[in-house]
Amino acid sequence: MHAFDQKAQDIVTSAVAAAEEHTSGEIVTVLADRSDGYTDVALLWSVSISFTAMAAVTAFPTFYTGLVDRVFGDWSHVWTPGELLTLVTGIGLLKFLAIWALQLWQPLKFALIPGPIKSGRVRNAAIRHFKVGAERRTHGRTGVLIYLSMREHRAEIVADEAIARLVDAEEWGKAMADMLAEIRKDHVAEGLAAGIRDVGKVLSEHFPRADDDVNELPDRLILV
């Protein structure tokens, strides 16, 4: 997780409070270290490379048995089918464990995850958090969730029913662009604040603040 001290959290909280001064909409912010463990993807890489190695030994057995014989100095060894099967299985197992171990290094693990999978799981995580923390929890169903997932380098904006009916998804583009521009400079709190300001402007156009408006959702940043 990006180092996020109290000062950084206060920047986000203040931005939410300021944005909500002009709208009846409610903004919720969530900062996640990652949106998924991607164990299935790591397993798929390990299995794929393991079976590829086993297939290579099966296709070119003489090369691999000769290599083993040279390593152990047994030039006259005659391989039995059982020994060859053991060799194939052993190489497959070693490859599986090696690739699995390599993926324990998180930068490599996330580099091996295809972009569309990251995007899909970040989106799903954002929707889950929205359903728990914001959906239908406001009187006018005017909640918006800004979700940032650090490991995947992706963000999502999810809006409640009343907002989604009036605001096209494309209108959130400026908020997303301004937010990511700051985050790329490693200014995470400032990036979230920029996105919050832009979302607040959109909400104020469609849902101006009423005199009797009350704050229905927390302004603080949620860290997960």
Return the domain boundaries, the chain: 6-37+114-223, 39-111
Phi first, then psi: what are they for 214, rounded to 5°? -125, 155
Number of H helices, E strands in the chain: 9, 4
pLDDT of residue 213: 65
Coil, strand or helix at 110:
helix
pLDDT of residue 31: 95
Enter the pTM of the model. 0.84
The per-residue pLDDT for range 54-71, each reduced to its tens digit, is 999 999 998 988 888 888
Q: Cα(68)–Cα(63) distance, rounded to whole angstroms?
A: 9
Q: Cα(103)–Cα(16) distance, rounded to whole angstroms?
A: 38
Please check whether residue 171 is in contact with residue 177, taking contact to mean a CB–CB distance below 8 angstroms. no
Asked whether residue 6 carries a pLDDT value surpassing 80, the answer given is yes
pLDDT of residue 187: 92
pLDDT of residue 134: 67
If one compares 165 and 98, the residue with the highest pLDDT of the two is 98
Asked whether residue 3 carries a pLDDT value surpassing 70, the answer given is no
Asked whether residue 44 carries a pLDDT value surpassing 60, the answer given is yes
Top-level CATH class of 6-37+114-223? Answer: alpha beta
Asked whether residue 2 carries a pLDDT value surpassing 60, the answer given is no
Once rounded to an integer, what is the mean pLDDT over residues 106-128? 95
Cβ contacts of residue 70 below 8 Å, gap of 6+? none
pLDDT of residue 140: 63
SS3 sequence, 122-156? Answer: HHHHHHHHHHHHCCCCCCCCCEEEEEEECCCCEEE
pLDDT grade for 5, boundaries at 50, 70 and 90: confident
For residue 166, the one-letter residue type is L
